[in-house]
Chain A
């Protein structure tokens, strides 16, 4: 218990200790229940001058008179009074924030997660709402020319009762005295949150925190909220380099964000959500912020999505349901996702996580398989090392759904059906038939020749397809009127298909298919119009291949190694023409389908920021 005096002689006596951090301790005050005292440790001020600077800074903050309560809820722990002991500044008074939860508790999912206890009905929409609140708050502070600076996950509290976020540790904010104009810079930061321009600064007390650097940290927080706590700069290192030899912040310095651009030697972890899960305009904001390299980092600063941009983009997705922008999974009602997703991305992620058996072994196998170009070797391997990718599984599920759907059409119209080969054509829209190229085509390098061994790969979706079939209603959850059938026609009796799965003859079934696969990413892109929806499930690389596929049919050669290797691995490709010659003289040969499809794909790539 200690007694301090405020600027105008108010007497404050500390009661209980609330918490202690690196630079100070927070106490409750006897006689007050909405304010607390933060008392600095003496080690916070190595000399008298630094204490004097902090005192002037606190005075400046009081003079700014920023409304820290909005709609009756404190939004940040803004200083209310300065505390003195024997005329020496010892700390300050701030509003009490009634919560012990932090924003990272909202990042973290899973069975025992804190957020599941706080909000038993927590869904992705909650994450969007928190992201919105955070973006709004940053924009609010920026409107007062306050820069947060040390914008890390421990400084953002979550007020569960009001469902808002609150920024604590305001005394590190970067502010300017409204009267004297003195600048009080932020001098601390957590490296994992810092923008690239600050990573290179030798000493953060010399660093210039800006609104733009806040935007960078904000985007990291929003990414973790929306992408199930993934690190935007994380990923699986495929070069074999030892991770400990890589400096901790190299990824931020070099803009190694595999979610928004192709980063050589790095791929998105298989357990992670795919960026395509995000609404395109939100993914676009991440691109504006994270798509840079060491060379373009500086130039990119002005492109970053602002807090205002984020708030405006997030707000529609945070609106109450029924919200046409959101879908709820018919299988698991806790799965909420943006409506452009044709399949539930959370079901797919769960299916992926279940296959995370022995990752170390799996990786070794993956590497070998990626390097080899010997198909027979891959065939042998495939039974031992089923490729666990969600992508292939998604293809199988979509094929099953397609088969189930067509089963009705066929039964109703009484047409004859051709079985297995059509099943495989049915999945061409989604499954890439990649040859064994190197890992430059992440996520699907070996999908075509691998076989999912687990029958339970996506039980939920299969069941839904079956039950739909039994009740005679259309296949649920298809989302768009185009229906589930990607490219081909006709059908396969569902019972036969499922029987085939049940009695374990998958390998035979899949094996047959392998012989018959036509190895196009977008089947018939020279003889029909491609719908943009067909591009949604494809990765950036697949879309690039799909566009080049149209050129490849005409025999154009390719300079880019991984693209060339992809087409050389197909049965149908015959390289004939030099790329420059082709582009100058032969593109006129494209038919109207091809021209239109190139336009559709190019427009989509531009919109997604793939260019």
Chain B
């Protein structure tokens, strides 16, 4: 397993060790192309996300959030910590869009946290990888590696990929990171008004009352949300 130390710097200890956790990584774009309204929208969205977290106390005790930002470089804003400790960062823009490197970093961070769960005997739901971007990566030389790693992780049910478009996002680009065979290549629109849906999805994925086959709960069943953009293959 590959652990990149800079992405596991000072994570906070896991709380509520006896409960099933859901780790979530937010990959947030703060490249130059995000300047102006998009970054303001993103910063507001991160605050909304925190507010939405507070509304579900069960999920608040089980979710863990890690925020990784990217421009020319990839930077961990906050390492994994209980959702109850969530603090929205304020991001400024500048630089290129190392989106692919950020995907690798996010998957690494998830692997590291999972290893910690295992050693503590903490069970977990499938991790979430949120990608908030206007969708124009510049590190294209890393794209095929990052893409195939993410696609494999999605196929192996190791991660739930949840791209969220900001501003006039390149939806087709974000969808291309899904495995080709995925039927519903969901891309959420991440404007401030709809941002909390991201967490509603996250929290309902762990408190959803199942009346279907309970052994199949690792397939994500989500309630309908009005702002989905679903495009067929």
Looking at the assembled complex, report how far the CB atom of B163 sits from the nearest CB atom of chain A, in whole angstroms.
22
Which residues on the A side are within 8 Å of B123 (C-beta)? Answer: 231, 234, 243, 248
CB-CB contacts below 8 Å: B90-128 with A: 112, 114-126
Whether A278 is near chain B, meaning CB under 8 Å from some CB there, is no
B173 interfacial by beta-carbon distance below 8 Å: no
Judge whether A359 and B204 touch: CB under 8 Å: no
| A112 touches B (CB below 8 Å) | yes
CB of B185, distance to nearest CB on chain A (Å): 23
- List the 5 closest A-B pairs by CB distance, nearest first: A269-B121, A236-B121, A191-B214, A363-B119, A359-B119
Chain A 240-256 residues near chain B, CB threshold 8 A: 243-244, 247-249, 253
For A43, A107, A150, A359, the residue with the greatest tally of chain B CB atoms inside 10 Å of its CB is A359
The complex places the Cα of A154 from the Cα of B58 at a distance, in Å, of: 8
Q: B61, A203: Cβ atoms under 8 Å?
A: no
- In the complex, how many angstroms separate the beta carbon of B22 from the nearest chain A beta carbon? 12
Q: Are B18 and A230 within 8 A (Cβ)?
A: yes
Task: Name the contact of B20 in the complex, choosing from A114, A227, A231, A356 (C-beta under 8 A).
Answer: A231
Contact A22 B16 (CB under 8 A): no
- For the complex, is B215 an interface residue (Cβ under 8 Å from A)? yes
Question: When the two chains form their complex, are residues A359 and B116 in contact, meaning their CB atoms are under 8 A apart?
Answer: yes
Q: Which of A107, A150, A248 contacts B217 (CB 8 A)?
A: A248
Say which residue of A107, A152, A237 sits within 8 Å of B121 (CB atoms): A237
Closest to B115 in A: A360
Which residues of chain B from 191 to 233 have a CB within 8 Å of any chain A CB?
204, 207-215, 217-218, 223-224
From 32 to 57 in chain A, residues with beta carbon under 8 angstroms from any chain B beta carbon are 43
Query: Is the C-beta of B147 less than 8 angstroms from some C-beta in chain A?
Result: no
Q: Verify A243–B117 contact, CB threshold 8 A.
A: yes
Would A153 and B58 be within 8 Å (CB), given that A234-B121, A244-B126, A248-B218 are in contact?
A: yes
Q: Could you tell me if B124 and A243 are in contact, using CB atoms closer than 8 angstroms?
A: yes
Q: Within 8 Å of chain A (Cβ to Cβ): is B148?
A: no
Say yes or no: A271 contacts B17, CB within 8 Å: yes
B157 an interface residue at 8 Å Cβ cutoff?
yes
At the interface, yes or no: B158 with Cβ under 8 Å from chain A? yes
A274 at the interface (CB under 8 A from B): no
Chain B contacts of A200 at CB under 8 A? 215
Q: How far is the CA of A247 from the CA of B123 in the complex (A)?
A: 11
Alpha-carbon gap, A235 to B119, bound state (A): 9
In-complex Cβ contact of A187 among B116, B121, B211, B224 (8 A): B211
Task: Give me 17 other A-B pairs in contact (C-beta within 8 A), A227-B18, A271-B120 excluded.
Answer: A102-B57, A154-B207, A191-B215, A201-B213, A203-B211, A204-B212, A235-B121, A236-B120, A243-B117, A243-B124, A249-B217, A269-B17, A269-B121, A269-B122, A359-B116, A360-B116, A363-B119
Report the Cα distance A200→B213, complex, angstroms: 8
Question: Are A269 and B120 CB-contacts (below 8 A) given A247-B215, A247-B218?
Answer: yes
On chain B, the number of residues with a Cβ less than 8 Å from chain A's Cβ atoms is 42
For residues 361 through 377 of chain A, which have their beta carbon under 8 Å from a beta carbon of chain B?
A: 362-363
- Any B CB within 8 A of the CB of A15: no
B152 is an interface residue with CB less than 8 A from chain A: no
Question: Is A152 within 8 A of B209, CB to CB?
Answer: yes
With an 8 Å Cβ cutoff, the count of chain A residues facing the other chain is 55
Report A111 CB to chain B, min CB distance, Å.
10
Which interface residue of B19, B209, B218, B224 has the most chain A CB atoms within 10 A? B209
Nearest CB on B from A52, distance (A): 19
Interface of B is mostly: loop
- B126 engages A190 (CB within 8 Å): no
Among residues of B, the one whose C-beta sits closest to the C-beta of A267 is: B121
CA distance A107 to B61 in the complex (A): 11
Shortest distance between the CB of B71 and any CB in chain A (Å): 30
What are 8 A-B pairs with beta-carbon distances under 8 A? A153-B58, A154-B207, A190-B210, A203-B211, A237-B121, A249-B215, A267-B121, A272-B18
- Point out the residues of chain B lying under 8 angstroms from A188, CB to CB: 209-211
Total CB contacts across the A-B interface at under 8 A: 127
Contact of A190 (CB < 8 Å), options: B16, B115, B156, B209: B209
The answer to the question of B75 belonging to the interface, with a C-beta cut-off of 8 Å to chain A, is: no
Assuming the contacts A234-B123, A236-B118, A360-B116, asked whether A249 and B211 have C-beta atoms less than 8 A apart, the reply is no
Inter-subunit contact A363/B118 (CB<8 Å)? yes
Least CB separation from A100: chain B residue = B57
Contacts of A272 in B (CB 8 A): 17-18, 121
Which residues of the partner chain B approach A267 to less than 8 Å between Cβ atoms?
A: 121
Whether A22 and B210, one on each chain, are in contact in the complex, defined by CB atoms closer than 8 angstroms, is no
Residues of B participating in the A interface, judged by any CB pair closer than 8 Å: 13, 15-20, 57-58, 61, 84, 112, 114-126, 156-158, 204, 207-215, 217-218, 223-224
Chain B hits for A363, CB < 8 A: 118-119
Q: Is A514's CB within 8 Å of the partner chain B?
A: no
Contacts of A199 in B (CB 8 A): 214-215
Chain A 190-208 near chain B by CB (<8 Å), digits 1 or 0: 1110100011111111000
Shortest Cβ distance from residue A244 to the other chain B in the assembled complex, whole angstroms: 6
Residues of A within 8 A of B57 (CB): 102, 104-105, 114
Name, among B18, B114, B120, the residue most crowded by chain A CB atoms within 10 Å (CB to CB): B18
Please, which residues of chain B bring their CB within 8 A of the CB of A235? Answer: 121
A363 to B121, CA, bound (A): 11
- Whether the pair A192, B207 counts as a contact (CB closer than 8 A) is no
Contact B211 A189, beta carbon cutoff 8 Å:
yes
CA distance A188 to B121 in the complex (A): 28
The closest CB in chain B to the CB of A248 belongs to B217
Residues of B within 8 A of A201 (CB): 213-214
When each residue 167-196 of chain A gets 1 if its CB lies under 8 Å from chain B and 0 otherwise, what string results?
Answer: 000000000000000000001111110100
Give A114 to B115 CA distance when docked, in angstroms: 28
Give B157's nearest chain A residue, CB to CB: A244
B156 contacts across to A, CB distance below 8 A: 244
Question: Quick check: is A229 within 8 A (CB to CB) of the other chain?
Answer: yes
Is A110 engaged at the interface, CB distance under 8 Å to the other chain?
yes
Residues of A within 8 A of B126 (CB): 244
- Distance between Cα atoms of A228 and B18 in the complex (Å): 8
Interface check A108, CB cutoff 8 A = yes
Query: Is residue A224 within 8 Å, beta carbon to beta carbon, of the partner chain?
Result: yes
Q: Which residues of A contact B121 (CB under 8 A)?
A: 234-237, 267-269, 272
Contact B61 A104 (CB under 8 A): yes
A43 to B225 Cα, complex, angstroms: 13
Interface hits, A139-158 → B, CB 8 Å: 150, 152-154
Q: Which of A105, A205, A224, A234 contacts B211 (CB 8 A)?
A: A205
Among A205, A224, A236, which residue has the most Cβ atoms of chain B within 10 A?
A236
Q: In the assembly, what is the distance between CA of A234 and CA of B208, in Å?
A: 20
Nearest Cβ on chain B to A466's Cβ, whole angstroms: 31
Contact A110 B15 (CB under 8 A): yes
Whole-angstrom distance between the alpha carbons of A112 and B60 in the complex?
Answer: 13
**Chain B residue with minimal CB distance to A23?**
B209
| Chain B residues in 8 Å Cβ range of A108 | 16, 61
Chain A residues whose C-beta falls within 8 Å of the C-beta of B224 in the assembled complex: 43
> B13: which A residues are within 8 A, CB to CB?
356
Known: A104-B58, A360-B115. A192 touches B208 (CB 8 A): no
Q: Is the CB of B120 within 8 A of A359?
A: yes
Minimum CB–CB distance from B25 to chain A (whole Å) comes to 16
Q: Would you call B117 and A112 a contact (CB within 8 A)?
A: no
Cβ–Cβ < 8 Å partners of B124 in chain A = 243
> Smallest Cβ distance from B208 to chain A, in angstroms?
7
